[in-house]
Amino acid sequence: MIWSLLAMMMVAVFSTTFMACEEENKEENGGTSVIGVWSGRSSNEQFTLTFKNNNIGTFIRKYTYSDTGVEVDAGSFTYTMETKENGLIVIKFNDSHHNGENEMYYFVIEDKTMSIYTDDYLSGLAWVLTKQS
């Protein structure tokens, strides 16, 4: 009898652990997780951010100038999450317009859409990106 009770308790503990892991995996593979590739484009700019698990990511920015052609800037960035849906990105652009300075952007995630702002949350909308993977 005691062994049966102990076995049932162990099953309950393991079931809870597996369910918690499954929920984490769901969040990382979809939903509001920031992890993955996000991209968007405007009339003259294409922007792609890749967020990794370790609070580091990579970016590619292609900008088309009417007089000088296409300029490509690529590199890495760091990010912090304030909640599951929003956070802060610090990007060091290396292109001719930023001179290697760090720039901070705020982001808000709604389903598979990320809105990136220049000033603070919901102010100075810079890009709207869609989750690719």
Is the predicted pLDDT of residue 130 greater than 70, yes or no?
A: yes
57 with 79, same domain? yes
60 with 109, same domain? yes
Average pLDDT, the chain: 76
> Residue 123 forms beta bridges with which residues?
120
15 with 40, same domain? no
Please report the pLDDT score of residue 31 as a whole number: 52
Mean pLDDT of 5-19: 47
Per-residue pLDDT reduced to its tens digit, 66-90: 888 898 988 888 899 888 888 988 8
Residue 120: count of CB within 10 angstroms of its CB = 10
98 with 119, same domain? yes
Strand pairing class (69-81; 86-92): antiparallel
CATH of the domain at 85: 2.40.128.50
87 with 106, same domain? yes
> Residue 106 forms beta bridges with which residues?
88, 117
> Which domain, by its residues, includes 26?
1-30
Mean pLDDT of 126-130: 91
Please report the pLDDT score of residue 36 as a whole number: 94
24 with 53, same domain? no
Please report the pLDDT score of residue 66 as a whole number: 85
11 with 65, same domain? no
* Between residues 59 and 7, the one the model is more confident about: 59
Residue 49 CB-density burial (10 A; 0-12 exposed, 13-18 middle, 19+ buried): buried
20 with 59, same domain? no
10 with 59, same domain? no
Is the predicted pLDDT of residue 108 greater than 60, yes or no?
A: yes
Mean pLDDT of 96-102: 65
54 with 97, same domain? yes
19 with 65, same domain? no
Q: Which residues contact 31 (CB under 8 A, 6 or more apart)?
A: 111
Per-residue pLDDT reduced to its tens digit, 32-58: 689 999 999 988 889 999 999 999 999
How many domains is the chain built from? Answer: 2
Cα(45)–Cα(96) distance, integer angstroms: 15
* Between residues 51 and 121, the one the model is more confident about: 51
The answer to which of 8-17, 66-75, 85-94, 106-115 has the lowest mean pLDDT is 8-17
25 with 69, same domain? no
DSSP state of 133: -
DSSP state of 85: S
How many CA atoms does the CB half-sphere of 46 hold within 13 Å? 6
Residue 45 contacts residue 59 (beta carbons within 8 Å): no
